[in-house]
Chain A
Amino acid sequence: MGFKEQQGEVVLDIKGLKKVFGKRKVLKGIDVSLKKGKCLALLGPNGAGKTTTIRILLGIVIATEGSIRVFDLEYPKGLKGAKFKMGVVPQMDNLDPDLTVFENLIVYANYFRISKKVARKRAEELLEFFALKNRRSEIIQNLSGGQRRRLLLARALINRPELIILDEPTIGLDPQARLLIWERLSDLKEKGTTMLLTSHYMEEVERLADKVIIIDNGTAIARGTPKGLVKDMLGSEIVEFSDGANRLDEIRKYLKGCDIDTEIFENRLFVYLRDGCKELDSLISSFSHVTKRPATLEDLFLRLTGRKLRET
């Protein structure tokens, strides 16, 4: 028992995960580790390999190489056991359109071999928690996007999972609907639920995640806390010169004494600042289109994965 408890700290442990679809290498050896009660976000452009990683955890995609342990259960043998303790909010809505809101939860509970009595009780609680009580007998078709997402979350919690996997949980929602989901997820996190999140909303990641891994082309290119990563890899502030590209040399020369990094995209010049820089402050006044703002995770994401549109 003692050994198990020690090991129990790590909920998810993936090492050297590789997946090849035909000739396409989707994952090229990724390590992921997630501790109990923490939230880990996988970030990356579309096609980076985030969803494939999740689908491997669900057994819908079989890994080409690598070891996977979830709750100390080694895949592939431990897959079924692990899934009893997991809840999933998929990117694509796959609620059962043949059933009502309440029936969706009851039928799903049955897949986890939860008794009808317990399932009913939990379903009522979850409908309350996600403000869906009034829609109890509605068919899925009549739900709004936000209601569907909330129901997907409720469904993911029907088995009281120890690990919830959230694949872009607030995709396509309005700010109010998103806020409600964030609040609920924060509640769950406070109660000690472990979360694996993928998202393209950096605000969502900054709110929820304790750690992030940035994935690009099937490789993990950065990992750390959201704030720490931005600070270490980018700096504290960004100055954006919308027409600064043609005056790059001049600007660089002028800022020689400062700890900076520059990037050009189309006509724009981005100056990443580690510490304060007096010269820069005086330079700003001589340009007409300049913005200075704190560096965010979004900036880091774009810096690392490029500003160009990804064709996948």
Chain B
Amino acid sequence: MFQVWYRNLKVWLKHLQASLIGNLGQPFLFLLAMGYGLGKSVPEIEGMTYLQFIAPGLVASAVMYSSAFEATYGSYTRLSTQGTFEAILMTPISVYELALGEIMWGATKGLVAGLIMLLTLPLFGVFPAMSYVLVIPILFLEGAIFASMGLIMTAIATNYDFFNYFTSLVITPFFLFSGIFFSLDAITSPLKEALSVMPLANVVILSRSLCYGKVGNVEEMLFEVILTIIFTVFFGALATYLLKKRLIQ
């Protein structure tokens, strides 16, 4: 598993610059446009300026984008044109280790993107509280969830165009409706409840609360953490199963 992870790390380090800028571009620009631009004409939400409100959520979205893209475009390239997966399966590495290595790698890339986003927040006058350290493992799990979703798509994809569905029907809705840009309280029940238990929404809640040192309802926080773990296990297992089905005849 770590061997697969290491292989991807080694390749990534060779193209570090392009990779980082590519992954960070979108959330960064959103923070700039929405936070600075739009934020000027938006009133405070839950006692925060609009920029303060959206910044922690955009950290979570940077993780999602980076992980999901790595496990689709990146993994699919390794699966199809490059034959990397087949080369790996000729060695003692099993298909399970391969799948877990790919998920771990996607999660790692997601975490790196999230952390860099986090480090740029002070440039916008947002200074995360120390309690944010607790969010870091959650961001890694979030990365694993979206890497698993991406790998599921990779396992059933027949070409790159297939990922357009994933991006426009899964990733973009998550980005827009996970409470990053507006409080989910604005939506009526039961849609509100449904949206708030989706992956990303739970991480956005944790990210925002702990960024500003507001732990609030411990029970609710714990619920979000458990939800994240359940998603990780479920999507991870499904991705592994489907990848095995694709690669082993």
**A83 in contact with B87 given A21-B249, A99-B11 (CB within 8 Å):** no
B84 at the interface (CB under 8 A from A): yes
Question: How far does the alpha carbon of A51 sit from the alpha carbon of B6 in the complex, in Å?
Answer: 30
Determine the main DSSP class of A at the interface with B: loop
Note all chain A residues with C-beta closer than 8 A to B89: 58-60
B91 at the interface (CB under 8 A from A): yes
Note all chain B residues with C-beta closer than 8 A to A113: 3, 92
Contact of B248 among A61, A81, A84, A103 (CB under 8 A): A61
Question: How far does the alpha carbon of A159 sit from the alpha carbon of B248 in the complex, in Å?
Answer: 23
Assess whether A96 is in contact with B94, with CB atoms less than 8 Å apart: no
Assess whether A90 is in contact with B11, with CB atoms less than 8 Å apart: no
A130 at the interface (CB under 8 A from B): no
Question: How far does the alpha carbon of A36 sit from the alpha carbon of B90 in the complex, in Å?
Answer: 21
Please, which residue of chain B has its CB at the minimum distance from the CB of A155? B87
Q: B71-94 interface mask toward A, CB cutoff 8 Å, 1 = contact, 0 = none?
A: 000000000001110111111111
**A98 in contact with B90 given A60-B247, A61-B249, A92-B83 (CB within 8 Å):** no
Assess whether A98 is in contact with B14, with CB atoms less than 8 Å apart: yes
Q: How many residues of A contact B (CB 8 A)?
A: 29
**A111 in contact with B92 given A61-B248, A62-B249, A98-B14 (CB within 8 Å):** yes
Closest beta carbon of chain A to B107's beta carbon, Å: 20
Question: How far does the alpha carbon of A92 sit from the alpha carbon of B90 in the complex, in Å?
Answer: 12
Closest beta carbon of chain B to A199's beta carbon, Å: 19
Note all chain A residues with C-beta closer than 8 A to B247: 60
Please, which residue of chain A has its CB at the minimum distance from the CB of B2? A110
Closest beta carbon of chain B to A145's beta carbon, Å: 16
A35 at the interface (CB under 8 A from B): no
Q: How many residues of B contact A (CB 8 A)?
A: 21
Assess whether A80 is in contact with B94, with CB atoms less than 8 Å apart: yes
B7 at the interface (CB under 8 A from A): yes
Assess whether A111 is in contact with B94, with CB atoms less than 8 Å apart: no
Question: How far does the alpha carbon of A103 sit from the alpha carbon of B8 in the complex, in Å?
Answer: 12
Assess whether B82 is in contact with A94, with CB atoms less than 8 Å apart: yes
Question: How far does the alpha carbon of A84 sit from the alpha carbon of B248 in the complex, in Å?
Answer: 19
Question: How far does the alpha carbon of A90 sit from the alpha carbon of B86 in the complex, in Å?
Answer: 10
**A83 in contact with B91 given A61-B248, A94-B84 (CB within 8 Å):** yes
- The residues of B with any CB-CB pair to A shorter than 8 Å are 3, 6-7, 10-11, 14, 82-84, 86-94, 247-249
Q: List 24 A-B contacts (CB under 8 A).
A: A58-B90, A59-B89, A60-B89, A60-B90, A60-B248, A60-B249, A62-B248, A81-B92, A84-B92, A88-B90, A90-B87, A92-B86, A94-B87, A95-B87, A96-B11, A96-B87, A107-B6, A107-B10, A111-B91, A111-B93, A112-B91, A113-B3, A113-B92, A159-B91
Task: A59-B89, A98-B84, A99-B11 given; name 10 further pairs at CB < 8 Å.
Answer: A60-B89, A62-B248, A62-B249, A83-B91, A83-B92, A93-B83, A94-B87, A98-B14, A110-B3, A113-B3
